[in-house]
């Protein structure tokens, strides 16, 4: 019988906060309820590597969500800098093209470099917004196109919505590390997200890791909210194992 993964390895709490002080205040409330913390652009630009080091010293794993998108040489340098910062996960935009993705993958080759995640189509975007930037295919087709490009460029991690994760799992196989943001437990608001899902549904569809922000960070008890999501992840994992 297959063993169940640790649900804490399948959840990243998004520290979408304006500064290091606010982030550490939240982290103090989370305690050991979570293992992975996602540091995005707003927080990283405000607090930098000093905050990353503090979080690592506290025993957390760091998902650095910078969505690198530039010429190949510049992105490769960004990947190397993230390696020095101690991030274990790092995002790049799949829309940067094959040469950029290959440069990023090569820069992430040495030991200690972060696992790269190629962002396909932001979960805040729908078909109408894609059309506005010249993409007339449905979001699912654009996600698959970009995921194939990233995979062929040497990147094995993808960021997609729960609506596409099942297709990517079938297309890319078990090797792919599929990260799904836009997670909203039942009863919470969607906010500015468009393509959303519950934790249970996303894991059931084949997600490797979920990213959850406001349902945790804005909860009256962030640690309790985290544990509820972990329980839902564990339940989905148990059902998958039973079906195998």
pLDDT tens, 4-42?
A: 789 999 999 999 999 999 999 999 999 999 999 999 999
On whether residue 131 sits in a domain, the answer given is yes
On whether residue 204 sits in a domain, the answer given is yes
User: pLDDT tens-digit profile of 62-111?
Assistant: 999 999 999 999 999 999 999 999 999 999 999 999 999 999 999 999 99
Question: Where residue 227 sits, what CATH number does that domain have?
Answer: 3.20.20.70
On whether residue 64 sits in a domain, the answer given is yes
Strands (E), 69-130: 89-93, 115-119
On whether residue 1 sits in a domain, the answer given is no
Domain count, the chain: 1
Catalytic positions? 67
pTM of the model as a whole: 0.92
Locate 153 and state its tokens.
């460029």
Q: What is the pLDDT of residue 8?
A: 96
On whether residue 25 sits in a domain, the answer given is yes
The domain of 103 spans: 7-243
On whether residue 2 sits in a domain, the answer given is no
162 and 180 in contact (C-beta within 8 Å)?
Answer: yes
Closest CA to 116 of 160, 150, 74: 150
């Amino acid at each position: 019988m297959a063993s169940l993964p640790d649900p804490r390895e399948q959840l990243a709490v998004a520290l979408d906060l304006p500064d290091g002080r606010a982030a550490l205040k939240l982290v103090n409330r989370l305690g050991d309820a979570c293992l992975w913390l996602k540091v995005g652009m707003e927080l990283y630009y405000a607090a930098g590597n000093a905050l990353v080091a503090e979080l690592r010293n506290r025993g957390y794993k760091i998902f650095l969500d910078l969505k690198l998108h530039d010429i190949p040489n510049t992105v490769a340098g960004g990947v190397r800098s993230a390696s020095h910062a101690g991030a274990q996960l790092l995002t790049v935009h799949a829309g940067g093209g094959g040469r950029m993705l290959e440069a990023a993958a090569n820069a992430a080759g040495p030991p200690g470099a972060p696992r790269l995640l190629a962002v396909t189509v932001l979960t805040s975007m729908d078909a109408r917004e894609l059309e506005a930037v010249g993409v007339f295919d449905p979001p699912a087709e654009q996600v698959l196109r970009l995921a194939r490009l990233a995979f062929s460029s040497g990147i094995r991690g993808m960021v997609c919505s729960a609506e596409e994760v099942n297709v990517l799992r079938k297309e890319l196989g078990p090797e792919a590390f599929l990260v799904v943001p836009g997670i909203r437990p039942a009863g919470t608001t969607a906010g500015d997200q468009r393509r959303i899902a519950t934790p249970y549904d996303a894991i059931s569809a084949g997600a490797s890791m979920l990213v959850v922000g406001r349902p945790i960070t804005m909860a009256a008890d962030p640690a309790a909210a985290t544990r509820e999501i972990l329980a839902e992840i564990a339940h989905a994992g148990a059902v998958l194992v039973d079906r195998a």
